[in-house]
Chain A
């Protein structure tokens, strides 16, 4: 299967600061990137979808100005949580999709964000 990495795996920050999460597809070119978040004891919820070189589209209820997504290259996408608050504490997971890998969706290992 596809190899996907995320960095950092865990981050703790103070309220009001911004945090950047990187997602890399290591063995294929990701033309599309899905970002999910998962609150404790809940399932994964899709936050946004981005296509390389285009603006991301956000799911209902997800603030586009708060969760900035950059998908400028085919191997790297970033999610920046701006002015983070405790309610943004969650497990963030990326899932790249690309040529030759559209039949099966693979996921990154996730980033645990804790906002104090």
Chain B
């Protein structure tokens, strides 16, 4: 079973920041928080991952709470092409452990 909890859906106005929350209260010390997204009829796309520090890349920012029990993915300026299902997954950093997907959050960016 997935070890994360996400809202099933969210809407965001185009050009505004999209903040996607994720709860992972049972996360272990050696587990990272990964975010992926899946645009309709495509394979999942890696977005970002982090352990305990906030992370930023060209796609998004990841904010992890100090107790690591929750995180927020931020898309700073959402566009229509960001409409997708976003998955928050906890996983150990390396090794042959496959990602286990929950139901994710369906983000709809509205013009």
A residues whose Cβ falls under 8 Å from a Cβ of B: 1, 4, 6, 32, 34, 36, 43-46, 49, 51, 91, 93, 95, 97, 102-110, 112
B residues whose Cβ falls under 8 Å from a Cβ of A: 34, 38, 41-46, 49, 87, 91, 93-96, 98-104
Contact across chains for B103 and A102 when beta carbons are under 8 A apart: no
Contact across chains for B94 and A103 when beta carbons are under 8 A apart: yes
Contact across chains for B98 and A105 when beta carbons are under 8 A apart: yes
From known contacts A34-B98, A49-B98, infer whether A93 and B103 are also in contact, taking CB-CB under 8 Å.
Answer: no
From known contacts A93-B44, A107-B43, A109-B43, infer whether A102 and B100 are also in contact, taking CB-CB under 8 Å.
Answer: no
**A–B complex contacts, Cβ < 8 Å, 20 sampled:** A4-B43, A36-B101, A43-B101, A43-B103, A44-B38, A44-B101, A45-B101, A46-B100, A49-B98, A93-B43, A95-B99, A102-B94, A102-B95, A102-B96, A103-B93, A103-B94, A105-B91, A105-B98, A107-B44, A109-B43
The 8 Å CB contact of B46, one of A43, A91, A93, A104, is A104
- Known contacts A4-B43, A34-B98; 16 further A-B pairs (Cβ under 8 A): A1-B46, A44-B38, A44-B101, A46-B100, A49-B98, A51-B96, A93-B43, A95-B98, A102-B94, A102-B95, A104-B46, A104-B49, A106-B46, A107-B43, A108-B43, A110-B42
